[in-house]
């Protein structure tokens, strides 16, 4: 009898037995040329991994046996791969069975298993597994910010940062915390915030016992072990652990104070300074003394216990 041969590349074939040992039986019926579950697009070539033996009817002439003769079962890994191939993701990761439309995407993904970081910054020796991340990192050294906001003068190194910024103009904060009343403009900000409730610190330092809620905080912390300060000021001899610290420092040279108070004429170098200043207008005092009932606008004041007056006199309020 005639049959259709399905030829798969060698790396798709495993030694595992199918999770279901029931074989699917197919019969050829010339009387039923086009069953409803087979449809061949006009003028479309068959995939290279399926060939038709000479004299064998086309797929449109093959009909599956009635459902009563076939035992349904969960797809085996081999079947899952074939199913994914048919959905136009023919490139498989052997480590985790993820599939990709392009070979280049698979190669990039494989570095997540091997730990390979082929792209190294000559300025600070930081390495990356993707060239796109490497190019983005280089902007921290060059100062390039190619993504500009059309509503204000701000520009950003990454498109994702611009998208997050655009929400500040609309005021939209679609992601709300179920534990408190805070809401956030992005899902990633909400996930990070949720760790303040759960206490989760998934990013641990291998050199000491400290752990962090954000990987960016861990990366900054790691530099405290090496003493490395890769970001140097061109105006003076100071150097910094992060690019953001250098950016803030540069404002002391340029005089730029981008954070302005809407209640008065004060402006500040950093957003945190503005946030602290705003408490003068709102009366908020979020920091309390453990020894008495005193409360303070500044976090440093609580360290003085019940006698904060000496430091309070030295801080502009």
pLDDT digits (tens, 9 = 90+) for 183-207: 888 888 899 999 999 999 999 999 9
- Among 57, 88, 53, 67, which Cα is nearest to 25's? 67
- Per DSSP, the chain holds a count of helices (H) and strands (E) of 9, 20
CA distance between the termini of the chain: 94
Whether 145 shows a pLDDT value over 50: the answer reads yes
How far apart are alpha carbons 54 and 253 in whole angstroms? 80
Whether 24 shows a pLDDT value over 60: the answer reads no
Q: Provide the whole-model pTM.
A: 0.38
Q: What's the sign of the alpha-carbon dihedral 302, 303, 307, 310?
A: negative
Q: Please say whether the beta carbons of 159 and 147 come within 8 A.
A: yes
How far apart are alpha carbons 230 and 122 in whole angstroms? 11
Task: Average the pLDDT over 86-92 and give the result.
Answer: 73
Whether 311 shows a pLDDT value over 50: the answer reads no
Whether 9 shows a pLDDT value over 60: the answer reads no
Cβ neighbours of 308 (radius 10 Å): 20
Whether 237 shows a pLDDT value over 70: the answer reads yes
User: CA angle, 182 as apex, 178 and 187 as ends, to 5°?
Assistant: 75
Name every residue whose Cβ is closer than 8 Å to that of residue 238 and which is 6 or more positions away in sequence.
232, 249
Q: What's the sign of the alpha-carbon dihedral 24, 30, 31, 36?
A: positive
- Among 296, 298, 308, which Cα is nearest to 275's? 298
Q: Please say whether the beta carbons of 157 and 144 come within 8 A.
A: yes
Task: Average the pLDDT over 46-73 and give the result.
Answer: 43
Whether 35 shows a pLDDT value over 80: the answer reads no
How far apart are alpha carbons 114 and 176 in whole angstroms? 37
Question: Which runs of consecutive H residues, i.e. helices, occur in the chain?
Answer: 77-86, 103-114, 131-142, 159-170, 187-198, 215-226, 243-254, 271-282, 309-312
- Among 111, 86, 85, which Cα is nearest to 99's? 85
Structural domains of the chain in order of their starting residue, each with its CATH number: 84-116 (3.30.160), 119-238 (3.30.160.60), 259-312 (3.30.160.60)
Whether 267 shows a pLDDT value over 90: the answer reads yes
For the chain, give the percent of residues with pLDDT over 90.
20
Task: Average the pLDDT over 150-167 and give the result.
Answer: 88
Q: What local confidence, expressed as pLDDT, does residue 50 receive? A: 39
Q: Please say whether the beta carbons of 11 and 94 come within 8 A.
A: yes
Pick from 55-64, 129-138, 168-177, 191-200: least confident: 55-64
Q: pLDDT for 104-143, tens place per residue?
A: 888 878 877 877 788 889 888 888 888 888 888 999 898 8
Tokens of 25: 């039986």
Locus of tokens 């108070």:
261
- Among 255, 291, 261, 256, which Cα is nearest to 275's? 261
Q: Please say whether the beta carbons of 127 and 117 come within 8 A.
A: yes
């Amino acid at each position: 009898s005639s049959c259709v041969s399905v030829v798969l590349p060698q790396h798709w074939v495993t030694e595992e037995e199918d999770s279901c040992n029931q074989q699917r039986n197919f019969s050829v019926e010339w009387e039923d040329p086009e069953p409803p579950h087979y449809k061949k697009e006009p003028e479309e070539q068959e995939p290279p991994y399926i060939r038709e033996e000479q004299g064998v009817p086309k797929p449109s002439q093959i009909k599956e046996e009635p459902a009563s003769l076939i035992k349904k079962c969960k797809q085996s890994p081999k079947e899952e791969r074939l199913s994914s191939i048919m959905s136009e993701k023919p490139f498989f990761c052997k480590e985790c069975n993820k599939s990709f439309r392009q070979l280049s995407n698979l190669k990039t993904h494989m570095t997540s298993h091997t730990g390979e970081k082929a792209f190294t910054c000559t300025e600070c020796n930081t390495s990356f597994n993707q060239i796109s991340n490497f190019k983005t990192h280089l902007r921290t050294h060059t100062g390039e910010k190619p993504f500009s906001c059309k509503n204000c003068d701000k520009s950003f190194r990454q498109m994702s940062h611009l998208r997050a910024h655009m929400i500040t103009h609309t005021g939209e904060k679609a992601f709300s915390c179920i534990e408190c009343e805070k809401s956030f403009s992005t899902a990633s900000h909400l996930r990070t915030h949720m760790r303040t409730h759960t206490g989760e610190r998934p990013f641990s330092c291998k050199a000491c016992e400290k752990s962090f809620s954000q990987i960016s905080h861990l990366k900054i912390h790691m530099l405290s072990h090496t003493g490395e300060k890769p970001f140097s000021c061109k105006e003076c001899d100071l150097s910094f652990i992060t690019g953001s610290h250098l950016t803030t420092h540069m404002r002391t040279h340029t005089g730029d104070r981008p954070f302005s108070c809407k209640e008065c004429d004060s402006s500040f170098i950093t957003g945190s300074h503005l946030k602290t200043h705003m408490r003068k207008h709102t009366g908020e005092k979020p920091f309390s003394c453990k020894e008495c009932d005193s409360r303070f606008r500044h976090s440093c004041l609580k360290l003085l216990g019940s006698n904060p007056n000496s430091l309070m006199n030295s801080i502009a309020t």
